[in-house]
């Protein structure tokens, strides 16, 4: 049930949200997100936050479960100790799975192509090594697990050939020290392709700069993978924050010095639209776009830029200031609405 504060919020913003739902959704469906509101954490239908499901702590990644229509998996922000299944249409919590004592979650996962397996990025508490768990999507129980090929696995991408691409951020953290980064002097980020059945390492890619943490992934229509980065080198000259995995090579996307400074060392999300990638940079307040070939397309100013997803030929973006925006492919604004009192988290997902 909604408490008084949430009810007042829903009543006060109902016309705005109805407008957002009607204009920001270009086809039947909705945007899913996690968010903070009034000191509490929620996840669910971003166009109808009055239906939001309360979370035990801050959420991060979401996955639509297409074999169970109307439901999604919500993952706790790193270092997290729960997975949830929600009914985003009815605003209900359906299921919670807590991490075992020797594991914690890194905020992301993916389904196999047939939807019969759920893969989650996790950490072995005893060794700080990354683990990929294969879970039953119905019960959320672990069926098998294997090493992620590095430390700090974050986003996982299921490739067309059935293999897994894992973004190993390279940063060691532990539950007792929270988000404190324990190995910045020795971090070794990597992008690793794994056999989804056996966990065998099929390929590994690294950047020359070991301080660029490999975090989030998206794949363009031509098969190129866009990799969103976070700079852990401290107050040093600004660096590019998008890498491209193309033709077996992982390389930084050409970035002007001015844009590198503006991005402020932190890319929160990456999304693909056709042959283009967009990254959101909340510290710099910008959404920047490149083609999969590395050609810069443009940028859009959005304070606290957070979530990104491509829907029906356009970008959908969110911000930490409550903004939901619809952007044309070249980053020009089409629609914008503000959900007052809401701080959207770093990811958006389209559910149809």
Q: What is the CATH number of the domain that holds 91?
A: 2.130.10.10
- 246 inside domain: no
Instruction: Check whether residue 2 and residue 72 sit in a common domain.
Output: no
How many whole angstroms from its chain centre is CA 122? 15
C-alpha to C-alpha distance for 314 and 306, rounded to whole angstroms: 16
Instruction: Check whether residue 74 and residue 182 sit in a common domain.
Output: yes
Handedness of CA 291, 312, 279, 327 (dihedral sign): positive
Residue with token string 């509101």: 37
Instruction: Check whether residue 168 and residue 35 sit in a common domain.
Output: no
Instruction: Check whether residue 75 and residue 148 sit in a common domain.
Output: yes
Instruction: Check whether residue 96 and residue 26 sit in a common domain.
Output: no
Contact between 280 and 297 under an 8 Å Cβ cutoff? The reply is no
Q: Which of 170, 191, 206 is the last residue of a domain?
A: 206
Contact between 224 and 244 under an 8 Å Cβ cutoff? The reply is yes
The DSSP bridge pattern shows strands 201-205 and 59-64 to be unpaired
Instruction: Check whether residue 272 and residue 329 sit in a common domain.
Output: yes
The torsion angle over the Cα atoms of residues 329, 335, 336 and 337, rounded to 10 degrees, is -140
| Per-residue confidence (pLDDT) for residue 179, from 0 to 100 | 59
Neighbours of 160 (CB within 10 A): 8
Instruction: Check whether residue 71 and residue 166 sit in a common domain.
Output: yes
Q: Which of 165, 182, 206 is the last residue of a domain?
A: 206
> Structural domain of residue 177, as residue ranges?
55-206
Instruction: Check whether residue 68 and residue 195 sit in a common domain.
Output: yes
| Per-residue confidence (pLDDT) for residue 279, from 0 to 100 | 98
- 253 inside domain: no
Instruction: Check whether residue 32 and residue 61 sit in a common domain.
Output: no
pLDDT in tens, the chain (352 residues): 333 333 333 333 333 444 555 566 666 789 999 999 999 999 999 999 999 999 999 999 999 999 999 999 999 998 889 999 999 999 999 999 999 999 999 999 999 999 999 999 999 988 889 999 999 999 999 999 999 999 999 999 999 999 999 999 987 766 655 556 656 677 899 999 999 999 999 999 999 999 999 999 999 999 999 999 999 987 777 899 999 999 999 999 999 999 999 999 999 999 999 999 999 999 999 999 999 999 999 999 999 999 999 999 999 999 999 999 999 998 888 889 998 899 999 999 999 8
Secondary structure (H, E, C), 303-329: CCEEEEEEECCEEEEEECCCEEEEECC
Instruction: Check whether residue 86 and residue 17 sit in a common domain.
Output: no
* Residue environment code for 51-76, b if the CB has 16+ CB neighbours within 10 A, otherwise e: bbbebeebbbbbbbbeeeeebbbbbb
- 256 inside domain: no
| Per-residue confidence (pLDDT) for residue 249, from 0 to 100 | 96
| pTM, to two decimals | 0.90
C-alpha to C-alpha distance for 89 and 9, rounded to whole angstroms: 19
Q: How many domains does the chain have?
A: 2
- 169 inside domain: yes
Contact between 331 and 317 under an 8 Å Cβ cutoff? The reply is no
- 324 inside domain: yes
Instruction: Check whether residue 43 and residue 64 sit in a common domain.
Output: no
Instruction: Check whether residue 284 and residue 165 sit in a common domain.
Output: no
Contact between 225 and 185 under an 8 Å Cβ cutoff? The reply is no
3-state secondary structure of 85: strand
Q: What stretches of 169-224 adopt beta strand conformation (E)?
A: 190-194, 201-205, 212-219
The residues facing 336 across adjacent strands are 325
Contacts of 221 (CB under 8 A, 6+ apart): 272, 274, 275
């Amino acid at each position: 049930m909604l408490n008084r504060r949430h009810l007042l919020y829903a009543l006060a913003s109902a016309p705005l949200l109805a407008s957002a739902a009607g204009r920001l959704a270009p086809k039947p469906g909705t945007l899913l997100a996690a968010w903070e509101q009034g000191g509490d954490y929620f996840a669910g239908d971003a166009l109808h936050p009055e239906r939001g499901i309360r979370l035990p702590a801050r959420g991060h990644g979401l996955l639509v479960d297409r074999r169970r229509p109307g439901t999604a998996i919500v993952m706790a922000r790193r270092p997290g100790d729960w997975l949830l299944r929600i009914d985003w249409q009815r605003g209900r919590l359906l299921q919670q799975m807590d991490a075992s004592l020797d594991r914690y979650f890194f905020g992301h996962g993916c389904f196999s192509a047939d939807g019969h397996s759920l893969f989650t990025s996790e950490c072995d508490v005893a060794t700080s090594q990354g683990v990929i768990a294969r879970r039953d999507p119905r019960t959320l129980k672990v069926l098998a697990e294997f090493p992620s090929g590095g430390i700090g696995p974050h986003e996982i991408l299921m490739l067309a050939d059935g293999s897994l691409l894992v973004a190993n951020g390279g940063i060691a953290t532990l539950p007792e020290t929270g988000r404190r980064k324990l190995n910045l002097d020795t971090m070794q980020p990597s992008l690793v392709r794994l056999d989804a059945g056996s966990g065998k390492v099929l390929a590994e890619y690294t950047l020359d700069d070991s301080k660029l943490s490999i975090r989030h992934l998206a794949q363009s229509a031509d098969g190129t993978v866009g990799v969103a980065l976070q700079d852990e080198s401290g107050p040093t000259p600004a660096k590019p924050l998008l890498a491209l995995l193309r033709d077996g090579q992982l390389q930084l996307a050409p970035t002007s010095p001015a844009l590198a400074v503006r991005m402020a060392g932190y890319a929160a999300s990456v999304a693909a639209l056709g042959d283009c990638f967009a990254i959101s940079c909340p510290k710099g307040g910008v959404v920047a776009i490149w083609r999969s070939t590395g050609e810069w397309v443009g940028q859009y100013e959005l304070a606290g830029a957070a979530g990104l997803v491509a829907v029906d030929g356009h970008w959908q973006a969110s911000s930490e200031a409550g903004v939901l925006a619809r952007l044309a492919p070249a980053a020009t604004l089409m629609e914008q609405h503000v959900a007052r009192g809401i701080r959207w988290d770093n990811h958006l997902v389209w559910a149809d």
